């Protein structure tokens, strides 16, 4: 099951309370206060995991709480700190604050980790309140509460190329031919109900026994769009978020005799739906592909589409994925186009830290923590 949205609640562990104790040992004159500090509460991290490709684990489990810190003990013993909790999410997950709507972090790199909820600090024991004029303090400090947040997780697949077009335009057939992906293929609309990813080797190498693997790229096959998708028609535009990260769009149009729609009109309709979703999509580089060439006997509509693309300065290909006609040339053209498009820098609203060889991140803005009052004011 493909799940690309989830809402969760996270609660970091509370800090343990400080202890009130006095030292009473033989041969230790005037032992004095010996209350230990409370342990710190466990923090909660989100980490991008290359082995996950869906947010399914957060569909039913929606509350996550880290361990609290243990209370301080006598003999100046500090309580045990709570264990941190690391939540694994797929690469490409955007994290939002569900209450304010603010973007917290974009987990776009394997192993990237962000501190999402700080654990509470442990309270101080009475040993810290001893003064020359107040040698037997009974004051202590309660632990600080851990941070809690309501989060919204949104997955945007990381792919270089996005396949878009009407339902039954041949997108799933093409990705099954050029990659090892095995999407469902059938002769009816809306066969694809969730995005599919495939890795394509443009130069034909295998990578084994010294053979060069060549240029590779990732292709995302999206469920088909129809007119009015931005208003909820068909499957709507829910899955278009997965092509926002792509560097190149490949627009597939069915020009076969069995399709009564005008190819040029179909091209304009899908472009309108892309623009209605996000103006940035329509500005992406695009390759237009006429599909099902083996079932196209009337070449007039095919040539009309070719002329329309020429007027728009768009690269045009005609293929038959079933027969293999034009597929290899298309793959090489996609790889050549990607070579000319720089990879966009992954922006983030957080600072990057390096700890123990892992990329770890923390929120750039400090989190306000209200200071808790002690049980008793210190004697003055």
Question: Over the stretch 107-148, which tens digit does the pLDDT of each residue have?
Answer: 888 889 999 999 999 999 999 998 888 888 999 999 999 999
Q: Does the structure show a pLDDT above 70 at 366? A: no
> 188-245: per-residue pLDDT in tens?
555 656 677 788 887 765 444 444 456 788 888 888 777 766 566 655 566 777 778 8
**Contact between residue 72 and residue 123 where contact means Cβ atoms under 8 Å apart:** yes
Sorting pLDDT into bands at 50, 70 and 90, what band is 186?
low
Burial of 34 (0-12, 13-18, 19+ CB in 10 A): buried
Give the distance from CA 198 to its chain's centroid: 18
Do both 83 and 19 map to the same domain? yes
Q: Does the structure show a pLDDT above 80 at 11? A: yes
What is the spatial distance between Cα 302 and Cα 236, in angstroms, rounded to a whole number?
A: 28
**DSSP per-residue letters across 58-112:** HHH--EEEPPPPPPPBTTTBPPPPPPPEEEEEETTEEEEETTT--EEEEE-STT-
Do both 187 and 148 map to the same domain? no
Q: Does the structure show a pLDDT above 60 at 380? A: no
What is the spatial distance between Cα 137 and Cα 378, in angstroms, rounded to a whole number?
A: 8
> What are the residues whose beta carbons fall under 8 Å from the beta carbon of 210, sequence distance 6 or more?
none
What is the spatial distance between Cα 147 and Cα 127, in angstroms, rounded to a whole number?
A: 27
Do both 107 and 178 map to the same domain? no
**Contact between residue 74 and residue 36 where contact means Cβ atoms under 8 Å apart:** yes
Q: Is residue 36 domain-resident?
A: yes
Q: Which of 343, 178, 191 is nearest to 250 (CA)?
A: 178
Tokens matching residue 180: 């090892």
Do both 238 and 331 map to the same domain? yes
Do both 240 and 141 map to the same domain? no
Q: Does the structure show a pLDDT above 50 at 157? A: yes
Do both 166 and 270 map to the same domain? yes
pTM of the model: 0.71
> What's the whole-number average pLDDT of the chain?
80
Q: Which of 228, 250, 255, 240 is nearest to 168 (CA)?
A: 255
How many alpha carbons fall within 13 Å on the CB side of residue 227? 6
CATH (domain of 195): 3.40.50.300
Do both 112 and 9 map to the same domain? yes
Specify the pLDDT at position 144. Answer: 95
Of the candidate ranges 133-137, 248-252, 300-304, 339-343, the one whose mean pLDDT is the lowest: 339-343
Q: Is residue 379 domain-resident?
A: no
- In this structure, are strands 350-355 and 358-363 parallel, antiparallel, or unpaired? antiparallel
Do both 336 and 353 map to the same domain? no
Tokens matching residue 127: 């040993």
Q: How many domains does the chain have?
A: 2
Q: Which of 285, 287, 284 is nearest to 315 (CA)?
A: 287
Q: Is residue 376 domain-resident?
A: no
Do both 175 and 324 map to the same domain? yes
Give the distance from CA 360 to its chain's centroid: 15
Average pLDDT over residues 284-290: 90
Of the candidate ranges 201-205, 253-257, 363-367, the one whose mean pLDDT is the lowest: 363-367
Average pLDDT over residues 303-307: 90
Q: Does the structure show a pLDDT above 90 at 275? A: no
Do both 143 and 172 map to the same domain? no
CATH (domain of 138): 2.70.210.12
- To the nearest 10°, the Cα dihedral for 18, 21, 26, 29? 90
Do both 168 and 148 map to the same domain? no
Residue 173 Cα distances to 128, 176, 179, 191, angstroms: 71, 5, 10, 11
What range defines the domain where residue 222 resides? 161-340
Q: Is residue 229 domain-resident?
A: yes
Q: Is residue 177 domain-resident?
A: yes
Q: Is residue 21 domain-resident?
A: yes
What is the spatial distance between Cα 281 and Cα 313, in angstroms, rounded to a whole number?
A: 17
Q: Does the structure show a pLDDT above 90 at 63? A: yes
Specify the pLDDT at position 183. Answer: 63
Specify the pLDDT at position 282. Answer: 84
Place of tokens 């095995």: 182
Q: Is residue 166 domain-resident?
A: yes
Do both 169 and 96 map to the same domain? no
Q: Is residue 52 domain-resident?
A: yes
Residue 72 CB neighbour total at 10 angstroms: 30
Q: In 3-state terms, what secondary structure has residue 6?
A: strand
């Amino acid at each position: 099951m493909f799940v690309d949205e989830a809402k969760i609640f996270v609660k970091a562990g509370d800090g343990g309370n400080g202890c009130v104790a006095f030292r009473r040992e033989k041969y230790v004159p005037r032992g004095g206060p010996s209350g230990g500090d409370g342990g710190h509460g466990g923090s909660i991290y989100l980490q991008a995991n290359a082995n996950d490709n869906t947010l399914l684990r957060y569909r039913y489990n929606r509350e996550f709480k880290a361990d609290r810190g243990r209370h301080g003990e006598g003999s100046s013993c500090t309580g045990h700190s709570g264990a941190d909790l690391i939540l694994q999410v797929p690469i490409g997950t955007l994290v939002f604050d569900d209450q304010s709507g603010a973007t917290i972090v974009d987990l776009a790199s394997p192993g990237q980790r962000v501190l999402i909820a700080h654990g509470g600090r442990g309270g101080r024991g009475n040993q810290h309140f001893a003064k020359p004029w107040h040698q037997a303090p009974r004051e202590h400090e309660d632990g600080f509460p851990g941070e809690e947040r309501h989060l919204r997780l949104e997955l945007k697949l990381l792919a270089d190329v996005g396949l878009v077009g009407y339902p039954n335009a041949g997108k799933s057939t093409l990705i099954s031919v050029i990659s090892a992906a095995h999407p469902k293929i059938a002769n009816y609309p809306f066969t694809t109900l969730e995005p599919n990813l495939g890795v394509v080797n443009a130069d034909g190498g295998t990578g084994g026994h010294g053979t060069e693997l060549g240029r590779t790229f990732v292709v995302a096959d999206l469920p088909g769009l129809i007119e009015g998708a931005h208003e909820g028609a068909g499957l709507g535009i829910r899955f278009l978020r997965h092509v926002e990260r792509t560097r190149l769009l490949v627009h597939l149009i069915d020009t076969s005799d069995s399709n009564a729609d005008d190819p040029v009109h179909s091209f304009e309709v899908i472009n309108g739906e892309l623009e209605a979703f996000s103006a940035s999509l329509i500005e992406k580089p695009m390759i237009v592909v006429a599909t099902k060439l083996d079932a196209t006997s009337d070449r007039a509509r095919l040539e009309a589409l070719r002329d329309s693309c020429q007027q728009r300065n768009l690269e045009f290909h005609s293929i038959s994925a079933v027969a293999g006609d034009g597929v290899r040339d298309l793959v090489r053209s996609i790889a050549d186009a990607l070579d000319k498009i720089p990879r966009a820098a992954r922006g983030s609203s957080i600072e990057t830290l390096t700890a123990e060889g892992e990329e770890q991140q923390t929120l750039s803005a400090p989190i306000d923590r209200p200071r808790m009052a002690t049980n008793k004011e210190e004697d003055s």
